[in-house]
Amino acid sequence: MSEHRQATMILSEKQKTLIEKIGIFHEQRGMQPAAARVMGLLFVSSQPGIGFDEITEALGISKSATSNAVNLLIQTQQIDYTTFPGDRKRYFRLKISNWREGVAREIDQMTGFNVLLRQVLELHRAEGNACDCTQLEEVISFLDYLHQELPKLVARWEESRVQH
């Protein structure tokens, strides 16, 4: 047991429920279930970092599932870890400071999908398909609009924070 942390993490029912809700949210966005629950745990915990064994025990998942989840979250830059002198353990924490990069990635992913939708539209037209492409054109137009306006929205938000 580390002198920096307790070996057992005790979660209230409210914390467990919130961890599960956050986990479901992330799962619905394509994240693996264990990684989604690790995210929930890190959001809900008041500790500045949580050890590997604490995560495994608190979530009731295997060490293998914990390892895979933690590695995925580190690789996708959603969490990082810290260590302490004299303690070989790693303590995992959310990497919230890079939320702007996450928003930018989301915008880029939408743009990437929009490129594919344009190719679908071109394919239909090139092959002379008798499809009604009105809805596809509408989605493309909306994604173009989002790509153009979302960075402006973030900039306006940042300006408003500086002014207050």
Q: Which fold has domain 13-94?
A: Arc Repressor Mutant, subunit A (1.10.10)
Measured over the CA atoms of residue 110, residue 25, residue 77 and residue 99, the dihedral's sign is: positive
The per-residue pLDDT for 128 is 77
H-type alpha helices, the chain = 13-28, 33-44, 52-59, 63-75, 99-126, 134-163
pLDDT(6) > 50: no
pLDDT at 69 over 80: yes
| Max CA pair span of the chain | 71
Task: Domain ranges for the chain, please list them.
Answer: 13-94, 98-163
pTM for this predicted structure: 0.73
pLDDT reported for residue 3: 47
Give the span between the Cα atoms of 144 and 146, in whole angstroms: 5
Alpha carbon dihedral 34, 40, 41, 42, in 10-degree steps, equals 110
Percent of the chain past pLDDT 90, that is, above it, reads: 59
pLDDT at 1: 40
